[in-house]
Structure 1
């Protein structure tokens, strides 16, 4: 029964609550919410995008202040010997490794022996062969069907259970 009540509450929220001026804010809730969205939406910086796509792995620094990553050996600060560090890197460039300890950048790992220049699981994107044209614009057909279906609107009274009011 609770699901039915929540389903029936949706039309009220959309048609009454969101459009009625709120006594505390002096604005309809939908207008207040839409007004809080920054325009234009902020875009991430190039540095933020690069950071989002970096890979990382945890390694323990050896007594000789080195770490290994996929067959490559890197030198790090000797003060980190015995510590667990996070190696942060672009999977397509294993020559440039950032070292982080406790979530903070502590320097670069200096390549000592690099035999592999890319992560073994990093596969470069290869463009797919374009599909042959069929002459049918499938997205336009779907869009037209969607527009036709949503233009009708929803008859909420037809969703009511007829047996509710009858005894």
Structure 2
């Protein structure tokens, strides 16, 4: 979102004439600096880095060491017993500058490093770019393709199930491959057919009972 806002400001807003000033914001900015005969000060990369560094105060031990969030560092022996300022990037606790009374005493030499970043430092994770809108209902297409695949399957008559959902719900629709109820009505009784078979082979169940 920040990238989109920056692009809009630099590409659109800065070049549109303002109704009150009669100038574009970019022209107004440049005109103001020309009027005072100066230019905006552009900070150097080092100055920007310095502006965003963190610092904490620690007392140097008798062994000329300081600790910071579980890490141990060696400093100048002349600083023993003094409160020094540790200046560092919150994302890199391996490189720390030691300062005392407005003077830099060089880097603190890491001895034991158990944490590489400040516990409150949260890395900036860019948001993923949103997928461009195509106007296509993707899930609907998947559903339709799924139903079409089931209808083309000769082994299972799922197409009849979906056709009833789409129909008026009134008629009796036959699922392909399904045995008709008429086949059972017109067929001879199972027990009668079995009795006739035994009589034909000389095994009359009625005679056996006698």
Task: Give the TM-score category using the shorter length.
Answer: 0.5 to 0.7
CA RMSD of aligned residues (A): 2.1
Match of 1:49 in 2: 48
Specify whether residues 61 and 38 from structure 1 end up closer, same or farther in structure 2 by C-alpha distance, changes over 3 A only: same
List per-residue Cα deviations over 1:20-66 (Å, max 9, x = no partner).
Answer: xxxxxxxxxxx998632623x22110000000010000000001100
List per-residue Cα deviations over 1:69-118 (Å, max 9, x = no partner).
Answer: 00000000011000000000011111110000012211110001111111
Q: Does 1:96 align with 2:118?
A: no
Q: Does 1:110 align with 2:138?
A: no
Q: Could you say which structure has the larger radius of gyration?
A: 2
- Distance of 1:66 and 1:57 partners within structure 2: 15
Match of 2:69 in 1: 70
For structure 1, list consecutive stretches of 5 or more residues without a partner in the other structure: 1-30, 135-167
Larger relative strand fraction: 1
- Distance of 2:114 and 2:68 partners within structure 1: 10
TM-score (norm 1): 0.56
Larger relative helix fraction: 2
Q: Does 1:36 align with 2:36?
A: yes
TM-score (norm 2): 0.45
List per-residue Cα deviations over 1:130-155 (Å, max 9, x = no partner).
Answer: 46779xxxxxxxxxxxxxxxxxxxxx
Specify whether residues 126 and 86 from structure 1 end up closer, same or farther in structure 2 by C-alpha distance, changes over 3 A only: same
- Distance of 1:51 and 1:102 partners within structure 2: 17
- Distance of 2:33 and 2:97 partners within structure 1: 41
